[in-house]
């Protein structure tokens, strides 16, 4: 959701609901939300939410001369953003082919282009953003990237890939596709963004809103709604649907300096992925639409861990 509407005498801008692509697209959608805010003559804004969408929106507003106050029920490290896998996955969990329009595609491409450049500029600067070799493990030779990804992402955002055949890689699958990818470490990244918004003069106020009336009571003439799943109740967005993922963290292992994804194990029972970070090795492989529960699924945890044990035990 990225659009503006009138709320009494205020401009209410919605910037939420980016599926599994929030970490990837947030700088871009934040820039576009800021462009909407610039239509007002005032340079004072409230940002509701302190996850990655709220923090990047606050920074983009500040860069354009706004005084910003962030209102949030939780702040890092207690946000949903802190629990994400966090990598450059701009089309992950986001695209419904039946609802795409030329206008939506153009909006997406703009957001992705802005966000990709912003993330590249953070590499090596202590934000927990870095390049990492990622291997897609395959039972057969790939026939190219998906047509959907090709038509959505501008070509300049794609990194070159190499397909490795039998004997050219250490994994227990016949083929592996190697592609450098941007990795984001949430605990480092979000703490740095909090530091940056506060250093630039923003206040962070702990406050929970129950309805649009609460948003209308704020003093700021521009309000940007970055509440994520909370927007369903806050602004009555009944179309907002959760897509539950679950990570299992292993202790850090410095020698693991690459990521893997794909159903590479006969016990995987579906897609699994692994990405190393300074705070641990993140294992994942769940995507459950419509599940609002925050409780861990023990069966999913067992499946994912066993799949990775099997995968790495068979590496050469």
Q: How confident is the model at residue 259 (pLDDT cuts 50, 70, 90)?
A: very high
Mean pLDDT over residues 285-312, rounded?
92
CATH topology of domain 129-184+243-313: D-Amino Acid Oxidase; Chain A, domain 2 (3.30.9)
Give the whole-angstrom CA distance, residue 194 versus residue 58: 10
Question: How much is the pLDDT for 265?
Answer: 61
At 20-30, the pLDDT tens digits run 899 999 999 99
Peptide bond into 77 cis (omega under 30): yes
Per the CB < 8 A criterion, the answer to whether 5 and 73 are in contact is no
Give the whole-angstrom CA distance, residue 249 versus residue 279: 8
Q: Which CATH superfamily is domain 2-124+185-234 in?
A: NAD(P)-binding Rossmann-like Domain (3.40.50.720)
Percent of the chain residues topping a pLDDT of 90: 80
Closest CA to 273 of 297, 304, 229, 241: 304
**More confident: 184 or 85:** 184
Question: How much is the pLDDT for 287?
Answer: 86
Closest CA to 37 of 222, 217, 225: 222
Give the whole-angstrom CA distance, residue 66 versus residue 242: 32
Question: Residue 195 has which token pair?
Answer: 């530091």
Question: Residue 232 has which token pair?
Answer: 């369903």
Per the CB < 8 A criterion, the answer to whether 51 and 21 are in contact is no
At 223-245, the pLDDT tens digits run 999 999 999 999 999 999 898 98
Per the CB < 8 A criterion, the answer to whether 292 and 230 are in contact is no
Q: How confident is the model at residue 146 (pLDDT cuts 50, 70, 90)?
A: very low
Mean pLDDT over residues 272-297, rounded?
93
Question: How much is the pLDDT for 148?
Answer: 47
Question: How much is the pLDDT for 267?
Answer: 64
Provide the 10 A C-beta neighbour count for residue 240. Answer: 17
Give the whole-angstrom CA distance, residue 120 versus residue 216: 37
Give the whole-angstrom CA distance, residue 220 versus residue 13: 13
Mean pLDDT over residues 216-222, rounded?
98
Average pLDDT of the chain, as a whole number: 92
Q: How confident is the model at residue 182 (pLDDT cuts 50, 70, 90)?
A: very high
Beta bridge partners of residue 11, listed in sequence order: 6, 222
- Pairing mode of beta strands 67-72, 203-206: parallel
Q: For the chain, which residues make up each domain, given as ranges?
A: 2-124+185-234, 129-184+243-313
At 152-161, the pLDDT tens digits run 889 899 889 9
At 41-82, the pLDDT tens digits run 999 999 999 999 999 999 999 999 999 999 999 999 999 999
| Residue 301: pLDDT over 60 | yes
**Fold agreement between 2-124+185-234 and 129-184+243-313:** no
Q: Scanning the structure block, which residue is given the tokens 């990405």? A: 275
At 91-135, the pLDDT tens digits run 876 677 888 899 999 999 999 999 999 999 999 999 999 999 999
Please state the length of the chain: 316
| Residue 145: pLDDT over 50 | no
DSSP the chain: -EEEEEETTEEEEEE---GGGHHHHHHHHHHHHHHHHTTSS--EEEEE--SHHHHHHHHHHHHTT-EEEEEES--TTSSGGGGS--BS-TTTTT--GGG--HHHHHHHHHHHHHHHHHHHHHTTTTSSEEEEEEEEEESS----S-HHHHHHS-GGGPPP-EEE-TTSSSSSSSEEEEEEEEEE-HHHHHHHHHHHHHHTT-EEEE----SHHHHHTSS-SEEEE--GGGHHHHS--TT---EE--EEEEPP-TT--EEEES--STT--S--EEEEETTEEEEE---EET----S--HHHHHHHHHHHHHHHHT--
DSSP 148-178: HHHHHS-GGGPPP-EEE-TTSSSSSSSEEEE
Question: How much is the pLDDT for 266?
Answer: 65
Question: How much is the pLDDT for 269?
Answer: 66
């Amino acid at each position: 959701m990225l659009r503006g509407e009138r709320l009494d005498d205020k401009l209410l801008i919605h910037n939420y609901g980016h599926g599994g692509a929030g970490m990837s697209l947030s700088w871009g959608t934040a820039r576009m939300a800021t462009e909407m805010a610039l239509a007002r003559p005032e340079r004072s804004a409230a940002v509701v939410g302190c996850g990655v969408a709220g923090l990047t929106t606050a920074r983009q507003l500040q860069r354009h001369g706004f005084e910003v106050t962030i209102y949030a029920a939780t702040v890092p490290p207690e946000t949903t953003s802190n629990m994400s896998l966090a990598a450059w996955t701009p089309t992950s969990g986001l695209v419904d082919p039946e609802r795409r329009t030329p206008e939506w595609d153009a909006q997406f491409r703009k957001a992705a282009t802005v966000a990709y450049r912003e993330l590249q500029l953070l590499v090596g600067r202590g934000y927990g953003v870095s390049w990492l070799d990622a291997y897609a493990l395959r039972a057969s030779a790939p026939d190219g990237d998906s047509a959907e990804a090709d038509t959505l992402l501008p070509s300049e955002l794609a990194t070159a890939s190499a397909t490795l055949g039998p004997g050219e890689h250490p994994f227990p699958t016949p083929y592996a596709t190697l592609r450098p990818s941007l990795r984001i470490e949430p605990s480092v990244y979000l703490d740095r963004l909090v530091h940056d918004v506060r250093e630039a003069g923003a206040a962070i106020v702990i406050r929970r809103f129950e309805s649009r009336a609460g948003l209308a009571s704020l003093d700021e003439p521009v309000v940007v709604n970055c509440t994520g799943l909370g927007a369903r109740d806050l602004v009555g967005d009944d179309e907002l649907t959760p897509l539950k993922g679950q990570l299992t963290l292993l202790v850090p292992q410095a020698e693991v300096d690459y990521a893997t994804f794909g159903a590479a194990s006969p016990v995987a029972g579906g897609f699994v992925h692994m990405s190393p970070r300074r705070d641990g090795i993140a294992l994942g492989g769940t995507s459950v639409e419509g599940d609002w529960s925050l409780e861990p699924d023990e069966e999913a945890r067992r499946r994912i861990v066993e799949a990775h044990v099997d995968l790495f035990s068979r590496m050469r």
